[in-house]
Structure 1
Amino acid sequence: MTLDEQQTQPELKQKELDFSSTYSSNLPAILSLLNISLAVTSYQSQRLILVQAKGDSLETKLKAFPRPMGLYADAKRLTIGTLNQVIDFQRAAASLQKVKQGGLDELTELPAKLQDSDWQDNAAIIAERQQQLDELKAADTLLLERAALTTGMINIHDIAWGKQGLWVVNSTFSCLSRLSPNHSFIACWKPPFIKDLVPEDRCHLNGMAMLDGEPRYVTTFNQADRRDSWRLKGQQAVGTLIDIKQNRILKDDLLLPHSPRCHNGWVYYCASGHGEVQRYHPETEVTELVCLLPGFTRGLAFIGDLLLVATSKIRHSELHDTDATPALPLQERLGAEKSICGVWLLDSQSAEIIASLQFEGDVAQLYDIAVIHGAPNLELLQHTDVLASHLFEFSQE
Structure 2
Amino acid sequence: MDTHPTVEDVPAPSPAPLKTDLTCSRGFSQWLAQHQVSIAFSSYQTGQLFLVGRMPDGTVSFHQRDFERAMGLWHEPGRLFLASLVQIWRLENVLASHERANGHFDGLFVPRTARITGDVDAHELVVEASGRVVFVNTKFSCLATYSLSHSFKPVWKPKFISRLAAEDRCHLNGLCLEDGVVRYVTAAGRSDVVDGWRESRVGGGLVIRTDDDVVVADGFSMPHSPRLYNGALWVLDSGRGYLVRIDPATGAKTDVAFCPGFMRGLAFHDGHAIVTLSLPRNLRFKGMPIEDEIARRGGQPWCGVHIINLATGDVVEWIRLEGGIRELFDVTVIPGIACPMAAPLQGPDLANLLTIEASDRQLD
Q: Which residue matches 2:210?
A: 244
Q: Which residue matches 1:332?
A: 292
Q: Which residue matches 1:284?
A: 250
1:388 aligns with one of 324, 335, 350 = 350
Q: Which residue matches 1:33?
A: 34
Aligned Cα root-mean-square deviation (Å): 2.1
2:137 maps to 1:136: no
2:162 aligned counterpart, secondary structure: coil
Q: Which residue matches 1:313?
A: 279
Query: In structure 2, what is the Cα distance between the partners aligned to 1:183 and 1:394?
Result: 31
1:241 aligned counterpart, secondary structure: strand
Q: Is the 8 A contact 1:77 1:89 kept in 2?
A: yes
2:102 aligned counterpart, secondary structure: helix
Query: In structure 2, what is the Cα distance between the partners aligned to 1:95 and 1:146?
Result: 20
- Residues 196-235 of structure 1: matches in 2 within 5 Å? 196-231=163-198, 233=199, 235=201
- What is the aligned-residue identity percentage? 30
- Residues 262-273 of structure 1: matches in 2 within 5 Å? 262-273=228-239
Query: In structure 1, what is the Cα distance between the partners aligned to 2:49 and 2:133?
Result: 20
Q: CA deviation at 1:259?
A: 0.7
Q: Is the 8 A contact 1:136 1:379 kept in 2?
A: no
Q: CA deviation at 1:328?
A: 1.0
2:311 aligned counterpart, secondary structure: coil
Query: In structure 1, what is the Cα distance between the partners aligned to 2:251 and 2:264?
Result: 23
Alpha-carbon displacement from aligned partner over 1:184-214 (angstroms, at most 9, x marks no partner): 1110000010010111111000010111111
1:155 aligns with one of 121, 125, 131 = 121
Alpha-carbon displacement from aligned partner over 1:88-124 (angstroms, at most 9, x marks no partner): 0012136995xx6xxxxxxxxxxxxxxxxxxxxxxxx
Q: CA deviation at 1:80?
A: 0.3
Query: In structure 2, what is the Cα distance between the partners aligned to 1:353 and 1:242?
Result: 28
Q: Which residue matches 1:363?
A: 325
2:303 aligns with one of 323, 341, 345 = 341
Change (3 A) 1:316 1:372: same
Change (3 A) 1:95 1:64: farther
- Residues 8-27 of structure 1: matches in 2 within 5 Å? 14-27=15-28
One-letter identity of the residue aligned with 2:320? Q
Q: CA deviation at 1:396?
A: 4.4
What are the ranges of 5 or more consecutive residues in structure 1 without an aligned counterpart?
Answer: 1-12, 101-134, 321-326
TM-score normalized by structure 1?
A: 0.82
Query: In structure 2, what is the Cα distance between the partners aligned to 1:95 and 1:350?
Result: 35
Q: Which residue matches 1:257?
A: 223
Deviates more, 1:177-186 or 1:17-26: 177-186
Structure with bigger helix share is: 1
1:137 aligned counterpart, secondary structure: coil
Query: In structure 1, what is the Cα distance between the partners aligned to 2:98 and 2:121?
Result: 34
Query: In structure 1, what is the Cα distance between the partners aligned to 2:358 and 2:330?
Result: 33
Q: CA deviation at 1:66?
A: 0.4
1:82 aligns with one of 77, 81, 84 = 84
2:103 aligned counterpart, secondary structure: helix
Query: In structure 2, what is the Cα distance between the partners aligned to 1:355 and 1:27?
Result: 6
Change (3 A) 1:161 1:385: farther
2:151 aligned counterpart, secondary structure: strand
Change (3 A) 1:380 1:339: same
TM-score normalized by structure 2?
A: 0.89
One-letter identity of the residue aligned with 2:69? R
Deviates more, 1:277-286 or 1:266-275: 277-286
Change (3 A) 1:82 1:316: same
- Residues 37-186 of structure 1: matches in 2 within 5 Å? 37-54=38-55, 55-93=57-95, 97=99, 135-164=101-130, 165-186=132-153
Query: In structure 1, what is the Cα distance between the partners aligned to 2:134 and 2:284?
Result: 29
Query: In structure 2, what is the Cα distance between the partners aligned to 1:310 and 1:59?
Result: 18
Q: Is the 8 A contact 1:318 1:328 kept in 2?
A: no
One-letter identity of the residue aligned with 1:176? L
2:344 maps to 1:378: no
Query: In structure 1, what is the Cα distance between the partners aligned to 2:164 and 2:356?
Result: 39
Q: Is the 8 A contact 2:61 2:339 kept in 1?
A: no
Query: In structure 2, what is the Cα distance between the partners aligned to 1:349 and 1:19?
Result: 33
Query: In structure 2, what is the Cα distance between the partners aligned to 1:19 and 1:144?
Result: 25
1:230 aligned counterpart, secondary structure: helix
Query: In structure 1, what is the Cα distance between the partners aligned to 2:321 and 2:34?
Result: 23
Q: Is the 8 A contact 1:96 1:142 kept in 2?
A: no
Which runs of 4 or more aligned residues in structure 1 lie more than 4 Å from their structure 2 counterparts after TM superposition?
A: 94-97
2:152 aligned counterpart, secondary structure: strand
Q: Which residue matches 1:296?
A: 262
